[in-house]
Amino acid sequence: MSYDWLIQLAQTALVLALAPLLSGVTRKIRARLLRRQGPSVLQPYRDLLKLIRKETVIAENASWLFRAAPYLILATTWVAAALVPTFATGLSSLDAAADIIVIVALLGTARFLLALAGLDVGTSFGGIGASREMLFASLAEPAMLMAVFTLSLFAGSTQLSSISAYMLGPGYSVNISLALALVALIIVSIGENARIPVDNPATHLELTMVHEAMILEYSGRHLAVIEAAAAVKLLLYLSLIACVFTPWGTAVAGAGALAYAIGLIAWAIKLAALAFLLVVFETAIAKMRVFRVPEFLGIALMLGLLATILLFVAKVSR
Amino acid sequence: MSPLDSDIAHLLAGSMVLLSFLLLYQDRMFALLNVFALHACALACSVAWQAYLQRAPHLFITALIALLFKGVIIPVALRRIVVRLGIHRSLDTVVSIGPTMLFGIALVGLSIVVMLPVTQSESEFVREDLAFALSVVLLGFLMMVTRRNAVSQVIGFMSLENGLVLAASGARGMPLVVEISVAFSVLIAFIVVGIFLFRIRERFDTVDLRALDLSRGETP
């Protein structure tokens, strides 16, 4: 019993520790695809350290919310990420809570806090970023929920560990609803992580920015915490897709140390592969106009709905 | 019949519904033509799979006709028409894409609600196929209603016909003669429509069908 607790703790710590590495790897792959040398994969750690050491400048009219928001955002995102099975599933400690709807709700809380913080100082950039974020969220969240709904209709449960186990066992089949849910989830994760067709994570200078506009007033350790939360969020989405759609190699609870080691390696390979695919997609596509983004996310919502409907047909007619 | 067989049938028929939605979503002419070609290829695969499952060799001919006519000849011919007329930029929609999509989802829901209870005594293939085929047909209608451009209306019509063939392949006992004649009538309809396109263009300098309403004296 205590053993499982240890694994769960390790998983929780690992998620936070590896998140900057993941964003470093994506930046490195992107640079290499653009035929640049690119910074080291450890650069995000150095950036975070630098930001933590720097002085924190806070606007005069900022309220307590502005100071508290970064920590709350990191906390909620981190808890959500800890709920996603990474290298091992079915850990008893958080299993009952590892509900995919809880994860969506936690991410929604983080988004709410971020939008409030963007509005708090009262600059026009923060306001425009917050309003756009909310516009996109109003489509991305239902899309995510529809994809989740499809998966849980398949597995008969909204718990991630049982969905993962179901997919590992009898559930993996050639099914169009699964494919649609996967595509919807990918579109939502691209939108939520402010990746390229929706938003550009690498610039502060574009008029169409969304995520960066909300955090424009942050500096020093607050900025470091927010950047860490963004990295954790990317890791969360990639792990979520990996654990549901490629469940192979994941260790089950109570397995030996060898199974955990295999699970760890499998997880690393899956994340690297997903990061590579994400970056290839990003370099192949141009950024959209802001007013095209709702259409893009609307596609995810439509795919999620369609997946549920097709699944319904398959279930009823059999 | 193994679960994998029915899964693949479900996959192919479902992908046709998905491609119908993609047709509704497209707002570029060449992409629309490509998606239409894909739609016909999905139809051909679906019919071929039905032929294999039902051990009905004549369905293979239907699949081949779908692949040749609607997967290759008609898209290529439409592309040439579009290039000749120089209309590859304009795709006007009556209703914007978001509401159209929602309406499309509602139509899919409607066809399922209608088809599943009606076909209760049939086998699962027939039920699924008919539900999906009806939604493809309705989505084709929706596309014809929501587009102003004549070429995209033609594509809506053709995708509607794809839905009919899908329904026919699911229902056993449809004679080959009927299918071949349907395929040829579609081809002839395509030729007629092609001639009309040029005539409309000649007379009104546009393929926007609002011009026809104006000429009839109706106010749009």
ipTM attached to this prediction = 0.73
Summarised one tens digit per residue, pLDDT across range B61-114 is: 888 888 988 889 888 988 888 888 777 666 667 777 778 888 998 999 899 888
Mean pLDDT of A58-85: 92
Of B176 and A155, more confident: A155
Give the per-residue pLDDT at A286: 85
Of B24, B78, B80, B61, the C-alpha closest to B184 is B61
Ranges of H-type helices in chain B: 3-25, 29-54, 57-65, 74-85, 97-118, 124-146, 150-170, 176-204, 210-216
Judged by DSSP in three states, A194 sits in coil
For B:23-52, CB contacts with A below 8 A are: 25
Rounded to the nearest angstrom, the minimum Cα separation between A182 and chain B is 14
- How would you class A230 by CB atoms within 10 Å of its CB: exposed for 0-12, middle for 13-18, buried for 19 or more? buried
Summarised one tens digit per residue, pLDDT across range A262-281 is: 889 999 999 999 999 999 99
Judged by DSSP in three states, A230 sits in helix
pLDDT band at B219, cuts 50/70/90? low
Summarised one tens digit per residue, pLDDT across range A161-177 is: 888 888 887 666 777 88
Considering only CB atoms, B11 lies closest to which of A176, A298, A303, namely A176
What is the b/e burial string over A77-109, where b = at least 16 CB atoms within 10 angstroms of the residue's CB? bbbbbbbbbbbbbbbebbbeebbbebbbebbbb
Query: Which of the residue ranges A86-90, A221-225, B29-33 has the most confident prediction, judged by mean pLDDT?
Result: A221-225
Considering only CB atoms, B21 lies closest to which of A295, A302, A314, namely A302
Give the per-residue pLDDT at B140: 92
Contact A62, A89 (CB under 8 A): no
The answer to whether residue B214 neighbours chain A at the CB level (below 8 Å) is no
The answer to whether residue A65 neighbours chain B at the CB level (below 8 Å) is no
Rounded to the nearest angstrom, the minimum Cα separation between A307 and chain B is 9
Mean pLDDT of A241-261: 83
Find, in chain A, the residue whose alpha carbon is nearest to that of B14.
A176
The answer to whether residue A286 neighbours chain B at the CB level (below 8 Å) is no
Q: Say whether pLDDT at B172 is over 70.
A: no
Task: Please state, for a pLDDT cut of 70, what percent of chain A lies above it.
Answer: 93
Q: In which domain, by residue range, is B32 found?
A: 3-216
Tokens of B189: 């309809």
Q: Say whether pLDDT at B166 is over 70.
A: yes
Q: Say whether pLDDT at A255 is over 80.
A: no
Of B154 and B183, more confident: B154
DSSP state string for A231-280: HHHHHHHHHHHHHHH--TTPBPTT--HHHHHHHHHHHHHHHHHHHHHHHH
Cβ neighbours of B97 in A, within 8 Å: 295, 298
Rounded to the nearest angstrom, the minimum Cα separation between B105 and chain A is 7
Considering only CB atoms, B18 lies closest to which of A295, A306, A314, namely A306
The answer to whether residue B68 neighbours chain A at the CB level (below 8 Å) is no
Mean pLDDT is lowest, of A12-21, A67-76, A154-163, for: A154-163
The answer to whether residue B14 neighbours chain A at the CB level (below 8 Å) is yes
Mean pLDDT is lowest, of B65-69, B130-134, B176-180, for: B176-180
**In whole angstroms, what is the distance from residue B25 CA to residue B3 CA?**
32
Give the per-residue pLDDT at B91: 65
Mean pLDDT is lowest, of A7-21, A190-204, A211-225, for: A190-204
Tell me the domain boundaries of chain A.
2-317
Give the per-residue pLDDT at B158: 86
Find, in chain A, the residue whose alpha carbon is nearest to that of B96.
A295
For A:156-175, CB contacts with B below 8 A are: 173-175
pLDDT band at A93, cuts 50/70/90? low
pLDDT band at B1, cuts 50/70/90? low
pLDDT band at A206, cuts 50/70/90? low
Mean pLDDT of A67-78: 95
Domain count, chain B: 1
Rounded to the nearest angstrom, the minimum Cα separation between A175 and chain B is 6
The number of residues making up chain B comes to 220
The answer to whether residue A315 neighbours chain B at the CB level (below 8 Å) is no
Considering only CB atoms, B10 lies closest to which of A298, A299, A314, namely A314
Cβ neighbours of B101 in A, within 8 Å: 298-299, 302
Of A110 and A310, more confident: A110
How many interchain CB pairs under 8 A, A with B?
Answer: 61
Give the per-residue pLDDT at B4: 79
Find, in chain B, the residue whose alpha carbon is nearest to that of A294.
B98
Cβ neighbours of B170 in A, within 8 Å: none
Rounded to the nearest angstrom, the minimum Cα separation between A10 and chain B is 40
- How would you class A220 by CB atoms within 10 Å of its CB: exposed for 0-12, middle for 13-18, buried for 19 or more? middle
Whether residue B112 and residue A309 make contact (CB cut-off 8 A), yes or no, is: yes
Whether residue B14 and residue A176 make contact (CB cut-off 8 A), yes or no, is: yes
Cβ neighbours of A146 in B, within 8 Å: none
Summarised one tens digit per residue, pLDDT across range A104-124 is: 999 999 999 999 999 998 888
